[in-house]
A and B are shown apart, each in its own frame.
Chain A
Amino acid sequence: MVSLPSGRDQWIRVRIMILVIVMMAGAAAVAHGAWQLGVTRAQELTNLAAEQYTRRIKISAHRGMITDRHGEELAVEIEVKSVYADPRKVTNPQIVAAALALLLGVDAMKMESRLGSDRHFVWLKRRVSPQIAQAVEKLGFPGVSLVDESKRFYPNRSLGSHIIGFAGLDSNGLEGVELRFDGVLQGNAEAATGLSDARGRMVFSDGAFGSDGIVGRSVELTIDRTLQYIVEQELLNAIRVFEAKAGHIIMMDPSTGEILALANYPTYNPNRINKSTAENRRNRAVLDVFEPGSTFKIFTLAAALNAGKLRPDQKTFCERGRMEIFDVVIHDDHRDGWLNPTECLKRSSNICFAKIAQGLSRKRLYHYIRRFGFGERTHIQLPFEMRGTLNHHKKWYDIDTATTSFGQGIGVTGIQMATALSAIANGGKLMKPLIVRRIIGQSGETERSFAPQVRRRVISRYTARMVADMMTAVTEEGGTGTQAALNGYLVAGKTGTAQKSEGSKGYAKDRWIASFFGFVPSDRPRLAISIVIDEPLINHYGGTVAAPVFKRIADQSLRYLGVSPRFSGKSRASAKKKNVRAAKMERSKRQDPANGLRDDEMGPSSVFADMLELGPGQVRTPHLLGMSMIDAMEILSSEGLRPLFMGTGIAAEQIPQSDEPIDKGEFVQVNFMPLPELGTLSEEDADTGADSQGVP
């Protein structure tokens, strides 16, 4: 501009400067806007953003596995397709909606309103079968796409369902361990965000941002799948034989507090949540509060012995079966005279225990009951645990000391009972019950392990030993629990037969809870088992209903665990008694064909059987499945085993499993299925296939 007259030249510069100032003002506004968003509103926006990342992650992240203590998979992820749409790219919503509604089985109106929304992303149908996914792909409507999603799958179906729980559509845990360990199983969403995009797809298969966190950690349970199976089968048997309404069994390792099995009836298949009722999904062992009845006497006894208020040889007068205290009459089934503590327990005398409790004082009784963990949560790693009901002793009526001593007027949960029972079994230590052993990182390393935890010492080791000995008498000749006795192992236990309380109306006449609580071998306990059968119709005595269940579970479990018997079965008089009830139970083992097949699928017992040493006089159980009755009979007799045959047709199930060690002369139970029933078996199998659709 140097060539121009300076006046105009200067004015041009001034005008340029004016525009520059305007731009600088704009720049200031923009710079301020950046500050506003990045600093002033940062928190609000970050939260909103985090929300969307987490939402996306939840549908994309790979949920961790749940395994049993040996790494057997109990809950896994499988890949399936889901159909979604970007409604803005859908060219002809009416036609697309009509076509897809038909294909996906969704209401056409609903489909149309979804496709008509102004969002960028709507689900049309989550988790469709591969065939439908293929069909959608073939239709190729613009704006309609498929995305890989993972779906929770429970390969063992109902096995352990109450422990495992289940996860919802968005891979969020809704029950059981799935719920309690949801955060662990889901993985670290923050770390995972970098790996999935707005459509929830993985952008980098691995490595790019460090793959930690995208896959949730696995949870290893203390449950042993085989033991769980045994327990569930036996619970089911008992429920069927005695036509009971419900029931639950807990098997615990008393020395560690680890729960090896926990079964409930009724049960459900977590793969098909929508077909189950809340009643079936209820984890009764942890949620149901019941009156323990006579089984509670072991804790009264332990308290009195430990407090020194009862000598092990001190006799108590049984009042010939009828005693009146505080205007209430207490009855016993037997008209006994003087009984020592062992006999009190063996004969389950309410009167003796009322007297023992009086001698102990209500304050001490209450103190010990609390020490055993009643009236408080055990802090088992499962959701919604109940506390039970235990009034403070200052609120007790005089009669309450007596009734509490034999388990009335107090509410407990199965897990409380199992934990308290374990305290007697393990020498007086109250353990924290464990259901989860370890949390395992993605590369298989232990991220956290849950070591056995002693909550407190309840009674002395000496007292515990004494009580265990007295409990052992219960399963011996003349006791109430003889049907729990085992060949080769000493069983400590206590039966319970409690009328169900109906609140203010007193006790129901015809509704009972039959229970058995025991541990085995009683001198060196490996298993503590609590068995509660709710409202059995056929019989209601704990010794008849629950004790045989204990025997059968303990028998199979100890063999599975390889616990060697201490003495020959013949030395025990009570063990010889083969009773009719047991036979009836065996007969009931005839279950639906699917279970029969699964027994075979499960197989770990036979795997483990290989590792079991053959004891003296033992043979390996021959493989009988698929054989005719005559063939099976021949093979069994050649091995020196006795047949216990059920049903007709070909062998579909055998107990013990093949290759498991078995004493010569013992029974081998074989269930036979007629061939037409095998037809239903394949149908059931196809059903399972539909469950697991999408498994490669």
Chain B
Amino acid sequence: MNDTATTSEEPGHIDRPLFVAVMLLVAFGIVMVYSASVVMATHQMDNSTYFLGRQVVYAVIGIVIMMMVSRIDYHIFQNSAVIWTILGISFAGLLLCHTPLGATINGASRWLRMGPITVQPAEAVKVSLILWLSYSLAKKSSRIKSFSIGFLPHLLVPGVLMFACMLQPDFGTTVVIALLTFSLLFIAGAKMGYIMLAGIVAAPIAYLLATGSEYRFKRLLTFLDPLATRYGDGYQLTQSLFGFGSGGLTGVGIGDGLQKFLFLPEAHNDFISSIIAEELGVIGIWMTMLLCAVVIGRGILIGFRARDEFGSFIASGLSILLGVQVLANMGVAMGLLPTKGLNLPFVSFGGSALVFSLAAIGVLLSISRGGRVPQLKEMSQRNWSSKGNVRKANRAGSEGVA
């Protein structure tokens, strides 16, 4: 793949398996969104391709952004002004949801109206938090073992974001942020004792939050026995399980599922894996997981090969974010986890999620290119050559400012 020369301005090749796997997932997502939403779209919008059309537009926008981001040297995020601005905007977005700019749907203020489109700031928060944590952890890598410098700030900032998420309320994102924070602290080498301590403190809080709200407690009960309340609170989960059951090993065939006939709420969104299971069966679910695994695996590999700690943290953080989302989404659809509003990355319908996920992949691709660090040119060439993954030095760092 290295012999097919591109322009000499290129810093390096993007990671092609990652790119292909993501494109396959996006394409698969478009197909599944159409299949899952066609009934609802016809029914509510009087336009069977309403969701399909939107998802295609989001995908195009997302891919353009991804390609753009992949050409930006990821070290731009290592600038404290830049990273704080990004984090600040995301955080402001979370808070703005409660203002008249926000939109409240089903009692949750998770959306921001921006002209004709609505944006879900939580999707941005997840990605920007990974960037910030990576920046901060890389900066403080030498003092990571200390509590006040290496540990506490990396709990405080996510803590504030989590609090903002709980205000929405968005329990799912809160949990994802917590998991990401602990993961990155662990990777960066924070003291295990601190992490465990934080975990011990966090667990009762999480428990109180989960049981404190009647609605979340009900969800918890529902998850324990969905069929018992299948006409009430367990309805959605029961319907999702029906999808898995009806699909069997190989599914009923794409487009032929019945659960999307308004039986399963959110079929095109949080519960799309149930539609995948119904129409493509257990095999379909496994193949989807395999594609996601390729994306995550390549992300981890990019993290291994990144030229600095910063890139390594970002890549592993984003990979873990994807992994957590995939597992949580499917786990919820199967009733293995309590119901949370988490989408299946690249596949579920949703502009914010798709665009920010693709932007995150753009960052991963940028890391895979190695970034523009001229002084490291020779070193990188030597190292990568020895691993049989040759990147030509003249391509690696000669790009201008992005």
Which residues of B, 239-265, contact A by the 8 Å Cβ criterion? Answer: 241-242, 244-249, 256, 258-259, 261-263
The listed residue (A15, A31, A37, A197) touching B186 by CB distance below 8 A is A15
Whether B186 pairs with A19 at a CB distance below 8 angstroms is yes
> In the complex, what residues of B have CB within 8 A of residue A335's CB?
none
Decide yes or no whether B303 CB sits under 8 A from chain A. Answer: yes
Q: Which of B227, B231, B308, B336 contacts A30 (CB 8 A)?
A: B336
Q: Is the CB of B189 within 8 A of A19?
A: no
Among A45-53, A290-298, A612-620, A657-665, the stretch that binds chain B is: A45-53
**Interface pair B334/A37, CB less than 8 Å apart:** yes
B351 at the interface (CB under 8 A from A): no
A11 at the interface (CB under 8 A from B): yes
Q: In the complex, what residue of chain A is closest to B144 when comparing beta carbons? A: A8
Task: Give chain A's interface residue range (CB within 8 Å of chain B).
Answer: 35 or more
In the assembled complex, how far is the CB of residue B277 from the closest CB belonging to chain A, in whole angstroms?
Answer: 6
- Check if B258 sits within 8 Å of A39, measured CB to CB: no
Q: Contact: B241 with A13, CB < 8 Å?
A: no
Q: Does A119 contact B (CB under 8 A)?
A: yes
A568 within 8 Å of B by Cβ?
no
Is the beta-carbon distance between A38 and B281 smaller than 8 angstroms?
yes
- Is there contact, CB below 8 Å, between B379 and A34? no
Q: A16-B316, A23-B327, A30-B330 are in contact. Are A49 and B336 (CB under 8 A)?
A: no
Chain B count of residues within 8 A CB distance of the other chain: 62
* A4:B308 contact, CB within 8 angstroms: yes
Does A203 reach chain B (CB closer than 8 Å)?
Answer: yes
Question: A12 and B336 in contact (CB under 8 A), knowing A23-B296, A38-B285, A203-B42?
Answer: no
A502 at the interface (CB under 8 A from B): no
Contacts A34-B244, A194-B261 given; indicate if A39 touches B307 (C-beta within 8 A): no
Inter-chain contact A118/B233, CB cutoff 8 Å: yes
Please classify the interface of chain A as helix (H, G, I), strand (E, B), loop, or mixed, using the class held by over half of its residues.
helix
B289 within 8 A of A: yes
Render B222-241 as a binary contact track against A, CB cut-off 8 A, 1 for contact: 00000101111101001001
User: Pick the contact of B256 from A53, A121, A194 — CB < 8 Å?
Assistant: A194
In chain B, positions 80-133 with a C-beta closer than 8 Å to chain A are none
Residues of A within 8 A of B42 (CB): 203-204
The B-contacting residues of A in range 44-71, CB under 8 angstroms, are 44-46, 48-49, 52-53
The B interface is mostly helix, strand or loop, or mixed, namely helix
- Given the interface pairs A23-B327, A33-B336, the reply to whether A53 lies near B258 with Cβ below 8 Å is yes
Q: Chain B: which residue is nearest A16 at the CB level?
A: B316
Q: Residue A567 at the B interface, CB < 8 A?
A: no
Q: Which residue of A lies closest to B183 (CB)?
A: A19
Question: Is A334's CB within 8 Å of the partner chain B?
Answer: no
Beta-carbon nearest neighbor of A88 in chain B: B232
Separation of A44 and B238 alpha carbons in the complex (Å): 12
* Cα distance A421–B249 in the bound complex, in angstroms: 60
Point out residues on B near A: beta carbons under 8 Å.
Answer: 39, 42-43, 141, 183, 186-189, 227, 229-233, 235, 238, 241-242, 244-249, 256, 258-259, 261-263, 277, 281-282, 285-286, 289, 293, 296, 300, 303-304, 306-309, 311-312, 316, 320, 323-324, 327, 330-331, 334-336, 376, 379-380, 383
Given contacts A33-B336, A34-B286, 17 further A-B contacts (CB under 8 A): A3-B376, A11-B189, A12-B187, A16-B312, A19-B320, A23-B296, A27-B293, A30-B289, A33-B331, A35-B282, A38-B244, A39-B249, A46-B246, A49-B246, A52-B242, A119-B232, A194-B261
Closest 3 CB pairs of A and B: A45-B245, A37-B244, A38-B282
| Interface pairs (30), CB distance under 8 Å | A1-B311, A3-B379, A12-B312, A15-B187, A16-B300, A18-B186, A19-B183, A23-B323, A23-B324, A29-B331, A30-B330, A31-B289, A33-B331, A34-B244, A34-B330, A34-B334, A38-B244, A38-B285, A42-B245, A45-B241, A45-B244, A49-B242, A119-B231, A120-B235, A121-B231, A193-B261, A194-B261, A198-B262, A203-B42, A204-B42
Chain A interface residues (CB < 8 Å from chain B): 1-4, 8, 11-13, 15-16, 18-20, 23, 26-27, 29-31, 33-39, 41-46, 48-49, 52-53, 117-121, 193-194, 196-199, 201, 203-204
